[in-house]
Each structure stands twice: as structure tokens, then as C-alpha cells.
Amino acid sequence: MAEAVVLAVSKIGTTLAEDATKVVIAKLSEKVTNLKELPRNVTRIQKELNMMNNVIQDFSTSDIRKYVIKGWIAEVRKLAYHVENIMDKYLYYAHQMQEEGKVMKFIKRIDYIKIFNEVADDIVQIEKDIKQVKDLKEWSLTVEQMNPNESTYIERQGSTVCLSELTKDEDLMGIEDNRKKLTQWLYTSEPHSTVITVSGMGGLGKTTLVRNVYDREKGNFPRKAWIVVSQTYNVQDLLRNLLMKIANKEQPPSANMDRMDVYEKQPPLANMDIYEVQDEINKKMKDTKCLIVLDDVWDYEAYIKIRNALKNLQESRIIITTRKEDVASLASSKCRLELHPLGDTDSFNLFCRRAFNNKEDYKCPSELMEVATSIVRRCQGLPLAIVSIGSLMSSRQETVYAWNRTYNQLKDEMLNNDNIRAILNLSYHDLPGDLRNCVLYCSMFPEDYSMSRESLVRLWVAEGFVVRKDGNNPEDVAEGNLMELIRRNMLVIYENDELGKVNTCKMHDIMRDLALSVA
């Protein structure tokens, strides 16, 4: 939300530090009104923008959603963009003038005096605009709205949860019976390939369950692959990805698609047509025990179209996760698993593991039992909703007032949204401004896209969403943001590296839909 201000402040700092700025002032200050005062004026603007940014960062969750405050922040953003544009214009012509060297020789070709007069006048006007925006704040924001300290302190407190604590098996409440059932199906005596389907509505934890089983059992299968299908898919890309995985080439297809040495004595993968890819998959998987997961399949035809590449497999197991009943019917009745919402006990225990993660026994304080039970009941047994609201509540002070305040906000959200969307919406708006920007940025990737940790960190830094903080460089701050979004269930871990560090992550499609609607 305040990224425009941060970028403008950064641009001012860059402008003031440039030698070209000093050259322009030295050569044209006698001819350009207000140019000599430009550094001092710009420094004042920088301080004012910094203060406005601090005000925005201090707003509480409920404040930033009020129309009057949204309007004021929009005015600050427009002001920051204007400042950035002026600084860009100044630097562009300052560098051009410096490179030309002999200014007077070229003064008739480019009227620098006119240009820098305009810049100096724009800076003076910006100072007037800042005063107007500050007056708007005083007029539009009441004492209650401009008193964020108490509510922010009540709403948020630091979280001490470690990432490793988010992925323990015991945190996966209510899945033990289903996990045993899935595992048994993997090791039946059936000699031919077997299709297993796991179905249910969004947010029930289909992918979480299957990923848990896959990670536990994949070591027992010489060939294995996890393929995300999603609503929009390309069969040839899916098959190429499958071939990559079973050939133990873990790099994404785009990284290897044109390399001649990906498969010895084979043409480049990009040059193989769909039939050649199918034949190569059959060769690789022939007489080999395989475990293949097709995650998030929406279309019955998606499996039918790639089935030829999976024919004649011996003792191979294909697990499909889906929300669609017709896709679930691809498996025989004895290998179909339909997930249902968690029961009251499992729901409450899962909530407490997130909300009270800093307690050794994850026990809910007696004074919060009533409101905690009401919050969990609103989740309707959906793990995605439970984990999201539990993570949000972990940042609240453990007082009845603070918890009831958030519960009332949740009830207000549910007047306009279904339960899971309301919870995710509340969780999103609870994020600090820099984290909200990171979430919105992630929503620009395609559905079910596997996002590289390293790439995300660099992209966030390049976009100006993170800056140096508390002595940490922007890359370290961005890493911390990523871990916080995973903790809050805005992003989910897709793959870890050999050291257990996050390698890739994804955004749940429900969360992505919400972020796109916000954007």
C-alpha cells in the first residue's frame, strides 16, 4: 500500500546523491529560479513522505478498510507517484546535460533553462500539495481513526513460531485414517497400474494429505513424479513435465527444454512431439514401479488425454486429487477417497496448534474458550480456514477483548462472503502493507504455479516491496516476508531442498482468487 511512497523517497535519495544534480545546480542556478533551493526543498519533501509512510504503516487492520482512510492513502500514493516522475525527469535531463559537457554549446538545441525551471516550479507545487494532503488528513480522520496505537497493539503481537513447527505430522489433524487407507492402496497386490482418487470441496486438505503420503512413500518407488494439472492445462506440457520428473531431472521444464544433454542420445525435449514424449515415458517406466500424483485435476479429459503414456505400467500407482465427481469416478469404488470436513474435536485441536503455537501443550486459556469455540465453529471443519484463522489469532493478545474484537470483524466479513473467503479476506487485510503487496504480486502468477523462493525474493526487492530494515538487507527482509506468508497460510510450501529449506511455494487457488479480486 505504501510502496509508492517508499519508491519516491528512495528516488529522492538517489537524485540528491547524483553528481549530475550538483552539476546542474552549479551551472544553471543563476538562470533558474528556485533551482538553488531545490536540494533543501526536496529534502523537506522526503521527510514529509517518510512521515506519511509511517502514519500508513501504523493504521490498524480495521482502519485501512474504511473508505475515508482509503481515499486519503490514495491521495498520498498519487502524490508519491508525482514526486517520482519529477525526480525521473530531473535526473534524465541532468545526465544528458552532463554528458554533453559544454552546456552553452548545446543550449539552443535543448532549452535546459526552461526544463529545469519547470522542475523547480513542480517541486514548489509539490510542497503545496503536501500541505493540502496533510490538511485532508486532519479533516477526514477522526481522533478514533487516527489513534492506531492501542488497536494495533491489541490486534498484533509478535509471533515466535518456527517454520519447522508448521509441517509436523501431528499438526495434520484428522488425517490418520485416510493416510493409512491411501498407504494401503499403494501396496496392494494388484499387478497392473491402479488409479486412486482423492476428492472433496476446496479447502479440505486434499493436496496436504496426498503430499504427506507421497513424501513418506516415494522412496519405495524407483520412478515418481508430482504433476500439477489445474483448470488450464496443456497436455504436451504435462507430458514433458512428467518425463522430466521420472528421468530424475528436477529442474523445471523451461530450464532444460532446449538442452541437448538432458537425455543422452535423445533429441532435445522441445523438439519431441507428443507421441515421441509418450513413447519415451513408456520406455522410462516400463517394468518399473512408479508413483505418480496428478494434483488438482478439474477435467475428466485431462487424464484420458495422458493415459496413453501410462499404459502397460506394472505395479504403478496414480493418485488424482480433484473437486469434480466425474474425475473422482476414474478410480474404482474401492480406491476412491472422499474427504469430509473435520469433526469438532479435530477442528478445535488444529486451531489451537496454530493459535497457541508458543505454548508447549497448545492449550487454550479458559477465558478464551468460548470465543475460540465460536471462531472454530465458523470454519465449518475446513482445514484451510482453520489454519488461516488460527495463524491470524496467534498474533493477537490473549485477552477476551482482543479476541472478541477480531471475532466481530469475522462476523462482519461473513455478511458478504462465504465462510472460507471471509476468513481469508480478514487474514489478508490483517497483513502489514508490505506483505499485502507481496501477496498481490504472487497472484499474478498462473494458477497452481510453483514459485521459486529465490526468484520471489529477488522480484519483491526489485519491485520495491521490501527495503532495508533493522540492519537487515532487503533480501533478508524479503526472506522473512516469505516465511511470514507461509506461517499465515497465504502461501504453502510446495518443495523443500535437501537441507529442509523452502525451495518452491504455491498460492492456494482460493487465496489467489481473493487476491485477484482485491487487486
Q: Which of 27-41, 80-94, 217-231 has the lowest mean pLDDT?
A: 27-41
CA angle, 323 as apex, 319 and 328 as ends, to 5°?
50
Grid cell, residue 6, equals 517508499
Confidence band for 456, pLDDT divided at 50, 70 and 90: very high
Is residue 385's pLDDT more than 70? yes
Residue among 402, 397, 346 nearest 175 (CA): 346
pLDDT at position 264 is 42
The pLDDT of 305-317, averaged and rounded, is 77
Q: Give the count of beta carbons closer than 10 Å to the beta carbon of residue 144.
A: 9
CA atoms in the 13 A half-sphere facing the CB of 381:
12
Query: The cell 494434483 sits on which residue?
Result: 295
* Beta partners for residue 466, in sequence order: none
Rounded Cα gap, residues 423 and 511, in angstroms: 10
pLDDT at position 369 is 96
The mean predicted confidence, pLDDT, of the chain is 81
Q: Under a CB-based contact definition with an 8 Å cutoff, are residues 447 and 507 in contact?
A: no
Segment 36-71, tens digit of pLDDT: 777 888 888 888 888 887 777 766 555 555 667 777
pTM of the model: 0.71
Confidence band for 249, pLDDT divided at 50, 70 and 90: low
Q: Under a CB-based contact definition with an 8 Å cutoff, are residues 139 and 75 in contact?
A: no
What CATH number belongs to 169-251+268-338?
3.40.50.300
What is 46-107 written as a DSSP string?
HHHHHHHHHHHHH--TTGGGSHHHHHHHHHHHHHHHHHHHHHHHHHHHHHHHHHH--HHHHT
The pLDDT of 177-185, averaged and rounded, is 93
Cβ-Cβ contacts under 8 Å for 112 (sequence gap 6 or more): 24, 28, 93, 97, 103
The pLDDT of 395-419, averaged and rounded, is 90
Confidence band for 348, pLDDT divided at 50, 70 and 90: very high
pLDDT at position 129 is 87
Rounded Cα gap, residues 124 and 120, in angstroms: 6
Rounded Cα gap, residues 404 and 372, in angstroms: 9
